[in-house]
Structure 1
Amino acid sequence: MLDSVKISRRQSEIRQTLSGLVAKEAPSEDETRQMDELDREYRSNETRFRAALVAEDTERREAGAELETRADREWAQMVAGFELRQVALHLDEGRAMTGRTAEIVTELRESGGYRGVPVPWEALEQRAGETVSTGTPDPIETRPIIDRLFPDSVAARMGAQMVSIDHGEVEWPVVTQGATVAWQSSETGSTGAAQAFQTTDRALAPDHTLGCQMKITRKALKQSGAALEAAVRRDMNSAISVEMDRVVFLGSGASGEPLGVIAGAATYGISSTAIGAAGTWAAFRAAVVRFMTASASNGPGGVRALIRPEMWDAFDGAYVTGTAITEWDRLLKSIPAGNIAMSHNALADPAGDPLAVSSLLTTSAGGVPPIFVGKWGAVDLIRDPYTDAQSGGLRITALATMDVTVARPAQLELLTGIQIEAAE
């Protein structure tokens, strides 16, 4: 029992005893002495009670922090023992799943409806020590999971945050209009008119489902053994990661795809600047200045840039006149190399005459990521034992529901028409 509770109960007993003694018109010497002792004890307990509350408040905070992180740690430990090969054998042969794999599947089924076998997103992480050459994967260590589906994906490197959603929709109210400040122009003058506090909602909805199909032959099922665990995870990880990176930035918003950040720049309200000339650090520097004047970034070190390999090639070959310094050297001097992501998948191919590409700049302001990527529930793994029945093979389909939205358009800027070759 907490000390504060014990002291509180004792105080209640003292008050009850004192009320009986005070009611007497002529208390004896012993009763008077008892009242003095109870009064001193009561005052002393008041001091002890306050001290106990202070000490227990610290303990409560520490215990609360422990409870907040305990569930995540326990779940990560369980997922570390999840075996995809058990899922594959269950779908192929009907073999019963055991251990942590069975526990996780059961828990996921209780929290949502799945036609096939639910597989946690974290199980697609490539685990340390996995190898195909020796055929002895080590599934004990897992990569750190910090609200991200694939830590090495382009979306993650550009500051996108992965949001886990059980069901329904999730939205973030973003402030578009708020407090105003003004000075009093005279002794009796007004300090200005107030304006309404307004927000706009950025929603993530489960309207977009990605299907990842895989064909597993009978030979692979019988010959690979435990190595199938690593192979299936790597293959699904790569396929989903590549497509996720593409739709986060280039998704059309049609044919089932979510609306990507670059393709939907006008819809999201993202500022777009046409360079229309050979790319230089000066063009990026101007964009960084726009970030800083919009209070979205404190400096170039907080800016992330998404570029195509062709742009790196052009920048690294463009020397400043009379020097051995390239435009790439100038860019790296202000924007850290770790903040630059190169991708031929997340940006459109070079086009036009002369050839030109686009680049996306993002930054996190006040701890708010520029892009939110929502993922619903778990990956739904469905079997198809009939299509390849003649060869004894198995086809599985993984269904993943995801969506994309932008928090604050001021945290993104699109640069278009960056020429990577000279005009003819």
Structure 2
Amino acid sequence: MGELDLEYRTAETRYRAALVSEDTERREAGEELETRSDREWPEIMSGFELRQVALALDEGAALTGRTQEIVSELRSQGGYRGVPVPWEALEMRAGEAIAADNPDPISTRPIIERLFPTSVAAQMGGSMINIGTGETEWPVTTSAVTAGWQATETGNVPGPSAYTTLDRPMAPDHTLGIQMRITRKALKQSGAALEQAVRRDMNGAIQQELDRAVFLGSGASGEPTGLFDASWGLTSTAISAAPTWDAFRTEVTAFITANAANGPGSVNLMIRPEVWDTMDGAVWDSGSGITEWDRLQKNIGKTVMTHNALGDPAGAPLATDALLTTNAGGVPPFFVGTWGAVDLIRDPYSDAQSGGLRLTALTTIDNTISRTVQMRILTDIQ
């Protein structure tokens, strides 16, 4: 009996150890399955080659490897006249950038910010998203829920306020086209360098026009409605004077009092280079040499200078506009959406006589705002 009891206890100990080991393995396997897709997608996307796409359109060469897998997957999810190119393929990858100090944004940023890390729209707090098909909208809270105290021992607290929302839709109504011409000599001579050239040129062209349209789009002739359009109902204030930190501080204070910003450090300011030139030349304290630009940089969260997303100075005296944005409770001030992938189409006729390759890249883009209190327009900055 003693021997049987000892054998039973030994078997039970081994059984419990096996259960513990199995449970640990199951947990590790579950974590592996949950995170595998996040790792595999960037790995597969890093192997996409635009050079293969260019050669396939020019010579009819067959796609191979990861490029062929990604193109097949994109085709199964939407219709494309040409070869679908994922947005991630336009990112500037390590070893292929122009300068050695360029970032390596492969899997650390949202979809478009990863492609355009220096985009004005991204720096001003816009949320860049990718939409498969159909329309997308964001319900944004617009109700002003109030709190109140019980006035008497038997009295009631103030009645409930209606919780209301406002939908901000985005629709695939605006298609941007980028045309590129590649000569026959470039196709035969450049080799792998063609990969870098096509990606860099397409990236720069889309980024430049995207920034302009998001802020200055007319809403007509196929363009989306830019944020400076009066239809959004954003608060607009005329400075009617030279730019100073005191003038900007007044608008930042309005952000804070509207509970849209916690302080000047959470506010983004977009200006033209001429405003920087004026402020940097205006000495606030002659004794210390502190300029108005120094005061602005000390207090504001982020300053973005652009000549593309803001209109040229006009009038007498010359005046321009500026834009203030802030993220309220983690909600971005505006959204920029793209539909599907970039549709890369070959024109076989225009350059047929010279043996060149003409490519047209089509992408559908739209933008919308979240809350109007998260953005303010400043006009007549002289």
TM-score by length of 1: 0.80
Which of the numbers 239, 251, 255 marks the counterpart of 2:217?
251
Size of the aligned set, in residue pairs, is 357
Correspondence 1:16-415 to 2 at 5 A: 67=33, 69-130=35-96, 143-149=106-112, 150-177=116-143, 179-262=145-228, 264=229, 266-320=230-284, 322-323=286-287, 324-336=289-301, 339-415=302-378
**Contact preservation (8 Å) 2:271, 2:321:** yes
- Equivalent-residue separation in structure 2 for 1:164 and 1:68 (angstroms): 22
**Contact preservation (8 Å) 1:148, 1:156:** no
Q: Give the Å deviation of 1:148.
A: 3.7
**CA deviation string 1:296-335 (max 9, x = no partner):** 1111111111110000000000111543111001101112
**CA deviation string 1:144-195 (max 9, x = no partner):** 4421421111111111111111101111101111533111222233322222
Distance 1:110 1:341, change over 3 A: same
Distance 1:254 1:83, change over 3 A: same
Larger mean Cα displacement after TM superposition, 266-275 or 352-361: 266-275
**CA deviation string 1:218-273 (max 9, x = no partner):** 111111111000000000000000000001111111111111112x2x32221111
- Equivalent-residue separation in structure 1 for 2:365 and 2:38 (angstroms): 22
Larger mean Cα displacement after TM superposition, 193-202 or 205-214: 193-202
Distance 1:189 1:146, change over 3 A: same
Larger mean Cα displacement after TM superposition, 221-230 or 313-322: 313-322
- Equivalent-residue separation in structure 2 for 1:359 and 1:241 (angstroms): 20
- Equivalent-residue separation in structure 2 for 1:261 and 1:215 (angstroms): 33
Q: Which residue of 1 aligns with 2:4?
A: none
Distance 1:253 1:63, change over 3 A: farther
Structure whose alpha-carbon radius of gyration is higher: 1
**Contact preservation (8 Å) 1:147, 1:164:** no
**CA deviation string 1:106-126 (max 9, x = no partner):** 000001110000000010011
- Equivalent-residue separation in structure 2 for 1:369 and 1:76 (angstroms): 25
Distance 1:68 1:332, change over 3 A: farther
Q: What letter matches 2:307 in structure 1? A: H
- Equivalent-residue separation in structure 2 for 1:252 and 1:275 (angstroms): 24
**Contact preservation (8 Å) 1:315, 1:326:** yes
Q: What letter matches 1:232 in structure 2? A: V
Q: What letter matches 1:285 in structure 2? A: R
User: What percentage of residue pairs aligned between the two structures are identical?
Assistant: 64
TM-score by length of 2: 0.88
| SS in structure 2 of the partner of residue 177 of structure 1 | coil
Q: What letter matches 2:194 in structure 1? A: L
Q: Which residue of 2 aligns with 1:11?
A: none
**CA deviation string 1:27-62 (max 9, x = no partner):** xxxxxxxxxxxxxxxxxxxxx9xxx9xxx89x86x8
Q: Give the Å deviation of 1:72.
A: 3.0
- Equivalent-residue separation in structure 1 for 2:98 and 2:318 (angstroms): 41
Q: Structure 1 unaligned segments of length 5 or more: list them.
A: 1-47, 420-424
Q: Structure 2 unaligned segments of length 5 or more: list them.
A: 1-15
**CA deviation string 1:70-104 (max 9, x = no partner):** 32321111111100010000000000000000000
